[in-house]
Structure 1
Amino acid sequence: MKTHVKALVVGGGAVGNGIAYHLAKAGWDTMLVERDELTAGSTWHAAGLLPLFNMSYATTHIHKYSVDFYKGLEAETGLNPGFYVVGNLRMAQRQERMDEYMLYSSVAETAGVYHEFLSPKEIKDRWPLVRTEDLVGALYHPQDGYINPADVTQAMAKGARQLGATIERKIQVNSYRWTGSEWIVSVTRMEDKGGNLLPTEETYEIHAEHVVTATGNHAQRTARLLGIKIPAIPVEHQYIVTEPDPALVEWRKTNPQHPVLRDADAKWYVREERGGWILGPYERNAPARFLYDVPESFRADLFPLDLERIEAEYMSMIHRIPSSETVGLKDDYNGPICYTPDGNPLVGPVPGLRNMWIAEGFSFGITAAGGTGYYLAQMMTQGEAEIDMASLDPKRYGNWMTTEYAARKNEECYEHVFILHHPDEEREACRPLRTAPAYDRQKEMGAQFGQVNGWERPNYYGPKDAPASFDHDSRSFRRGAWWQYAEAEAQAVRNTVGIIDASAFTKHLVRGPGATAFLDHFTCNKLPNVGRINLTYALTDHGTTRTEYTIVRLKENEYYLISAGAWTAYDADFLIKSAEDWMANGGGYIDIHDITTQWGVFALAGPNARALLKDIVKDANPDTVLGNKRFPWLSYRDIELGMAPVRAVRVAYTGELGWELHYPIEFGRYLWDLIWSVGEKHGLKGVGARAQNWLRQEKSYRAFGNELGRDATPLEAALDRFVDLGKEFRGKAKMLETGIRSKCVTLLIDGPADADPWGKEALLLNGEKVGRLTSGGWSVAFGKQIGMGYVRPDLAEVGTKLKVKMLRQEWDAVVTEDSPFDPSNARIRIDG
């Protein structure tokens, strides 16, 4: 067995083999080790479906690559992967489900995924065994279908071997040790004794520059060996196979296979299998398994059935396919399938470790295997993938995540596979968990909370004593029940003053003799002077945007960095590793602390913000302390509000006169009460994240994860004013070399009367896709829909007329100037 390789892949399922194939294709000396046989984990009992449908832009690209890749495997390897291109029919029993499909249609269009809409009559005409009188329509993908999981895995394995990779079976990893330049992986050869897989005395050390784990159900063992947390825990998934259906057998004598049928409102999928049907439900109360480890005796095994749990789904299949009512059951399966709390896999570099990568938590592993291998190999061999993979990054969950949290959220995620996925969806399991001090106060005021990185934050403030007819939990693909309250909050910020709890912001303290030189090279804008702040960006080595920072310079070599609340561990890992590299190359000492949970934040914004603060600020000259002379825009001051010490930062993400009030977390309840004690006379209103999102678009403020990411440079994001080309900084040369492939613009939209864009829609010119929205909403300043997104550079000029695809219709949109509301920033700078 080889003991020195460039890359070691651990795990021989579909995902692991997809990674090994693409690393070998990229020219890396690659070895894959599997503790049992290839496909012995969840791969062997997977149903092999290949659904292109996904609301995630990155995951859609991964799935699309896989489907295209699998179609060429036989020609390359000589092995038939068992791909049946029968199509995928997603049926809808209600209009709201069709609204979901219409939103997905825009995502699919931006990713180049072909699809059609079918009426109930068209469905019945094509597939008469399907009952359609209670359907409103369907979304149809004719280019996908299902595949044999074992066959496609073996085909990828053979392809990997042909490209030079080595695959070793019956090899179990016992430990990982990083030497500073390579991983030393201790392994043991396993043997099959009486049906049990047992270790032998044959041990080896494998030296690998890079390691990728794709260990599936064994992710918790992997986490322990690496000393990290991986919220990938399996959930039971049952499916049944029927005896041949005579009506289906007769149909197939002259007709092709049915597409994979998905009745999302009934929570199941069905496909043909040897003249019968496979039913796969996603029912309630499916339990998580293997929370801490997979028993040594569990190999290619299954759990006991619980058919009562899926009785409703089985009866609904009979309703949808009446001929199946008299057909008996032939086989049944109940096996583990890994999930994560948000349903997306964990793909990318491991926090805190070098050259260690994971690909874990795949609930649709067969669909994702090829694409994951392709894009992860790009990240490993080239530094970045051609699409932004941040939404799948393992660091989207911080160390606050526990096993109990992951298990309960994964169970919820399984149950929600076919639940309507509203863009304003908020799931309730494991909540509330992380709360700021004023949480109870906000709840009493009618706050309806969302969750970001485990933190509760108000989405909007609804009526405290809502009538029974008002449903705070109602969601919609159009304007939900919350819309009128978000609009009123946005109006308050524009006309009086609003308060936003932004305590979830990520906060880092960076200090030391090397801090200034490091941050100057780490970010692309000038560093602020002491007492001032600046907006800046840390770039990838490819010149794209890795992180957005507001930098507050506290002292000559001490800085307070503020970044997006959803990305705390993601930002921390990049910042700390970059500082370590800087010091290793001769830079001065840098001390970095994540102080996110030590500081809370209230943002006050609106024309009356200064007047409100004057009523509670403690200063010898309260009438001047907040004026432009002593406290100009883009500066910070340590002030006292009542008895609370506050680091006040004069910025507002809404484009109004405002301050962010950063306070020691233990003062949160006191400060909230103090502000509200004088707030009423100034027209103070609680404001949630949804109104804030609308307001920031009126100012063309980019958001990380939307307009900002690793697939666009700051120059493509039209942020030239925050890039100092007179200095050297990380990624500068690559940024300039990349040029302008597309450009970020703001658009005003004359859309439908009952819906706003969500930031997932396609932008069209003469029916041709020319870009996509990355944000969307409603503008109270202009009285119409607003959006931000990327278009071809030649279409970024102000006044360019485009179309936005919403609800299967094209709506007029025009490119407007950057910061269409108050472009001169007069309201932000106003003195008083």
Structure 2
Amino acid sequence: MKSHVKALVVGGGAVGTSIAYHLARAGWDDVVLMERDELTSGSTWHAAGLLPYFNMSYATTHIHDYSIKFYKTLEEETGLNAGFSVVGNLRMAQSKERMDEYMLYASTAETCGVPYEWMTPAQIKERWPLVRTEDLEGAIYHPTDGYINPADVTIAMAKGARQRGVVVERRWQVDSYHWTGEAWEVTCTKMVERGGNLVPSDEQVVITAEHVVTATGNHAQRTAKLLGIKIPAIPVEHQFIVTEPDAALLEYRKTHGEHPVLRDADAKWYVREERGGWILGPYERNAPARFAYGVPDSFRADLFPLDLERIEEEYMSMIHRIPSSETVGLKDDFNGPICYTPDGNPLIGPAPGLRNMWLAEGFSFGITAAGGAGKYLADLMVEGEAEIDMASLDPKRFGSWMTTDYAVAKNEEAYEHVYILHHPDEERPAARPLRTSPAYDRQKTAGAQFGQVNGWERPNYYAPEGFDDHAARSFRRGGWWQYTEEEARAIREGVGLIDATAFTKHSVYGPGATAFLDWFTCNKLPRVGRINLTYALTSAGTTRTEYTIVRLAENDYYLVSAGAWSDYDRDYLLKALEDWNSGGNEWVGVQDVTTQWGVFAIAGPKTREVLNELIRDAEPETALSNKRFPWLSCREIELGMCPVRAVRVAYTGELGWELHHPIEMQNYLWDQLMQAGEKHGLKLVGARAQNWLRQEKSYRAFGTELGRDATPLEAGLDRFVDLEKEFFGKEAMIKTGVRSTCVTLLIDGPQDADPWGREVLYAGDKRVGRLTSGGYSVAFGKSIGMGYVSPDCATVGTKLKVKMFDKLWDAEVVEDSPYDPTNATIRKNSEG
């Protein structure tokens, strides 16, 4: 057993072995893989081994694509057959709406170069006559994936890792982690078998590791306790059954090849061949979470009792779809734990609050993702960043407010939603409402239809009494569209009020605050009483966080960032400050004040008229004028009895202010604004209208246009980058250059649909980019989108095509901020 290593990987399933392999392949020659039992003894051994491409996430699609291609190379490298059956994947649809889902997915897949084909019911029947097709609308077919033997591919990756110098240690359990300030001291105990159980022996070793990766699968809760953090990875029961041989299938196979993996999403199952019979894997309702507080010591490669009643509906639907299976008996059954997370995607990246501790947990589709997860996590560890933006999979996307009960409810929901229609505007109901601003009840009474961001309830739009948000969802213009259009128009023509309380807010202060922020962000710092938009970069020079910085005093700053990324932003800020404070610099303090401040954004040409009703000032008629309160400035004002930190900025591109207020006074301020706004036609506005309006101004959003796969220069944010100063990531940003360019496009799309921001862009028959945002423009009366294209296609006036519903629609690159490009509307004095 080595005592000092570069990296210790904890967990010997498919994910752990892939990580060890890829770290070694990336050049780390001192890696140890440690498994508490035997390789593959966790969820890997009872996985069905499917390799589906289908995923709505851009990052996850890349991960799956890498895995599928990588697994095909293992035999040549290791001499071991990984058991990859490239039979393809046929995903069937029983409705036109399901086909709409597949077409949206297909456009996303196309951005990653994933091959697919469309099939009609007749084509399916001709090729696979055992499948009933008369009630199908069609299918999407992936010819290059299929299924693999989970144990074989894991052993193959383990052998490949050993060939590259990785040491694999079995029957060792990690019992503690201690950070020395430079490395991790990991205490490990030898496990021995007694009476069929695995128990600790008296033998212990301490390994000093520069980096640790946890890929502990079902044991993630134990890992969380050892590290003193929260990991919302909790297993859910997943059962699948194996049938006896099907005579009709055996006859068919005499003259035909193997069926593809069959998926009837509307029936909530997958089916594949297995030794002349079938494997049915349902994703049924009411599958329970297990091991919420840890896996019992007695549970090894064990299973739960089968609950056939729970999957009866799915079993009968398999018989309907494959009639020959009706008379086939059951040969075997499996009901084992599969780890889930609240959104169904894995947790890959740095652990919150810890140095050189990396998580690879919560893999509900672990075999599909293992190869790519190993590759991209190794990139993060070795290179500092991966070539794709991994933020959507970062463990810190779930806040520290999260509890075990929350994770259980959401993980069970994520399991049930595997085959439920994934509308782009879907809002899943479990564990809601949970985090609410004080005005929540008032907004609900006013017709708010809520979404959630980082657990916060936030109005998406407002609708009349009795409106059904769930029924309004669609892959096209849903029932909510008309209300969002009215809200967007109200801000352009009158005045609207938006609840932005979910914004992340930090105070940064102390004698070194100015020097620290000048180094930490790329733009000039504002003067006292002013604000600036700026960015913190990664070590690769790409965009890590977007901040609105308000300078309250010489060394006192108020930072506002995206509401969805509170813990993500805080962790990066705190770690940077820790380095700063320990480096001999003047001290800087930071405080997360997100829950102390509520925020209302009020915007539109009549904004001053509303606020003038409430402002308390010696000269109220000029208090909000351009002279006394210029654009991009901040002032402490009083609206009635509420003290307000008013910031003159508007994400909608209109005259407007953000009203940051003590959250305990929110209901008072809400009532005052509603009363004052009544005679001026104040309209309540949700996040969807705001999203449309910001695209008319070409305002980039973090998580869409802004991320760790593009620099601020590639995002077209040159005016927010001060190249005259030194800042973190500057050299890497300049070295990267401009690989692609962010543009705004106006789109002549279908009359009943707008892009969602997942669509592929073409110049002729050449794929040149993808949309990252999409919606409707009330100013131009057509669809709008933002995205990245190759630099040669970024010139204003360039004609492109956007793929929507399997058709190409005309799109044109327009100037940045096509609505009010000179910002005259934002600056204008109005009635003030």
Shorter-chain TM-score range: over 0.9
The residue number in structure 1 matching 2:96 is 95
Q: How far 1:701 moved relative to its partner?
A: 0.1
Q: How far 1:305 moved relative to its partner?
A: 1.0
1:75 and 1:795 map into 2 onto residues whose CA distance is 40
Query: Conserved in 2, the CA contact under 8 Å of 1:462 and 1:472?
Result: no
Task: For structure 1, list consecutive stretches of 5 or more residues without a partner in the other structure.
Answer: none
Query: Conserved in 2, the CA contact under 8 Å of 1:749 and 1:813?
Result: yes
The residue number in structure 2 matching 1:800 is 798
1:600 and 1:304 map into 2 onto residues whose CA distance is 49
Q: How far 1:390 moved relative to its partner?
A: 0.2
Task: For structure 2, list consecutive stretches of 5 or more residues without a partner in the other structure.
Answer: none
TM-score, normalising length from structure 2?
0.99
The residue number in structure 2 matching 1:20 is 20
1:374 and 1:478 map into 2 onto residues whose CA distance is 36
The residue number in structure 2 matching 1:685 is 683
Q: How does 1:163-178 map to 2 (within 5 A)?
A: 163-178=164-179
Q: Give the residue type in structure 2 aligned to 1:730.
A: F
Q: Give the residue type in structure 1 aligned to 2:25.
A: K
Q: How far 1:464 moved relative to its partner?
A: 2.5
The residue number in structure 2 matching 1:698 is 696
Query: Conserved in 2, the CA contact under 8 Å of 1:448 and 1:472?
Result: no
- Other structure's SS at 2:571 match: helix
2:253 and 2:286 map into 1 onto residues whose CA distance is 36
Q: How far 1:680 moved relative to its partner?
A: 1.3
Q: Give the residue type in structure 2 aligned to 1:24.
A: A
- Other structure's SS at 2:540 match: coil
After the TM superposition, which of the residue ranges 470-479 and 274-283 deviates more from structure 2? Answer: 470-479
Q: Give the residue type in structure 1 aligned to 2:543.
A: T
Superimposed CA distance per residue, residues 449-471 of structure 1 (whole angstroms, 9 cap, x where no aligned partner): 000000000000001354xxx65
Q: How far 1:472 moved relative to its partner?
A: 5.0
The residue number in structure 1 matching 2:84 is 83
Superimposed CA distance per residue, residues 539-562 of structure 1 (whole angstroms, 9 cap, x where no aligned partner): 111110000000000000000000
Q: How far 1:11 moved relative to its partner?
A: 0.3
Q: Give the residue type in structure 1 aligned to 2:156.
A: A
The residue number in structure 1 matching 2:551 is 553
The residue number in structure 2 matching 1:812 is 810
The residue number in structure 2 matching 1:723 is 721
Superimposed CA distance per residue, residues 752-774 of structure 1 (whole angstroms, 9 cap, x where no aligned partner): 00000000000001121100000
Q: How far 1:580 moved relative to its partner?
A: 1.1
Q: How far 1:27 moved relative to its partner?
A: 1.7
2:316 and 2:196 map into 1 onto residues whose CA distance is 37
1:168 and 1:254 map into 2 onto residues whose CA distance is 47
The alignment of Structure 1 onto Structure 2 pairs a total of residues equal to 829
The residue number in structure 1 matching 2:650 is 652
The residue number in structure 2 matching 1:2 is 2
Superimposed CA distance per residue, residues 594-620 of structure 1 (whole angstroms, 9 cap, x where no aligned partner): 100110000000000011000001111
Of 584, 587, 601, the residue aligned with 1:586 is 584
The residue number in structure 2 matching 1:613 is 611
Q: How does 1:750-789 map to 2 (within 5 A)?
A: 750-789=748-787
1:475 and 1:89 map into 2 onto residues whose CA distance is 26
2:279 and 2:193 map into 1 onto residues whose CA distance is 32
1:557 and 1:99 map into 2 onto residues whose CA distance is 53
Q: How does 1:530-609 map to 2 (within 5 A)?
A: 530-609=528-607
Query: Conserved in 2, the CA contact under 8 Å of 1:187 and 1:203?
Result: yes
Alignment of 1:393 with 2:377, yes or no, is no
2:445 and 2:162 map into 1 onto residues whose CA distance is 62
Q: How does 1:267-416 map to 2 (within 5 A)?
A: 267-416=268-417
Q: How far 1:665 moved relative to its partner?
A: 0.6
Q: How far 1:260 moved relative to its partner?
A: 0.2
Q: Give the residue type in structure 1 aligned to 2:707.
A: G
Q: Give the fraction of aligned pairs with identical amino acids, expressed as a percent.
A: 76
Query: Conserved in 2, the CA contact under 8 Å of 1:515 and 1:590?
Result: yes
TM-score, normalising length from structure 1?
0.99
The residue number in structure 2 matching 1:749 is 747
Of 779, 789, 792, the residue aligned with 1:791 is 789
Q: How does 1:153-168 map to 2 (within 5 A)?
A: 153-168=154-169
Q: Give the residue type in structure 2 aligned to 1:627.
A: S
Q: How far 1:820 moved relative to its partner?
A: 0.2
2:342 and 2:724 map into 1 onto residues whose CA distance is 44
Of 468, 476, 491, the residue aligned with 1:478 is 476
- Other structure's SS at 2:399 match: coil
2:726 and 2:354 map into 1 onto residues whose CA distance is 27
- Other structure's SS at 1:310 match: helix
Query: Conserved in 1, the CA contact under 8 Å of 2:469 and 2:480?
Result: no
The residue number in structure 2 matching 1:133 is 134
Q: Give the residue type in structure 2 aligned to 1:37.
A: E
Query: Conserved in 2, the CA contact under 8 Å of 1:472 and 1:482?
Result: no
Distance 1:656 1:727, change over 3 A: same
Query: Conserved in 1, the CA contact under 8 Å of 2:45 and 2:301?
Result: yes
The residue number in structure 2 matching 1:262 is 263
The residue number in structure 2 matching 1:461 is 462
Query: Conserved in 1, the CA contact under 8 Å of 2:449 and 2:469?
Result: no
1:464 and 1:314 map into 2 onto residues whose CA distance is 40
- Other structure's SS at 2:608 match: helix
Query: Conserved in 1, the CA contact under 8 Å of 2:581 and 2:587?
Result: yes
- Other structure's SS at 2:316 match: helix
Alignment of 1:626 with 2:662, yes or no, is no
Q: How far 1:173 moved relative to its partner?
A: 0.3
1:54 and 1:293 map into 2 onto residues whose CA distance is 29
Query: Conserved in 1, the CA contact under 8 Å of 2:704 and 2:772?
Result: yes
1:465 and 1:582 map into 2 onto residues whose CA distance is 54
The residue number in structure 2 matching 1:221 is 222
- Other structure's SS at 1:573 match: helix
Q: Give the residue type in structure 2 aligned to 1:546.
A: R
The residue number in structure 2 matching 1:43 is 44
Q: How far 1:474 moved relative to its partner?
A: 2.8
- Other structure's SS at 2:377 match: helix
2:252 and 2:634 map into 1 onto residues whose CA distance is 74
2:430 and 2:544 map into 1 onto residues whose CA distance is 31
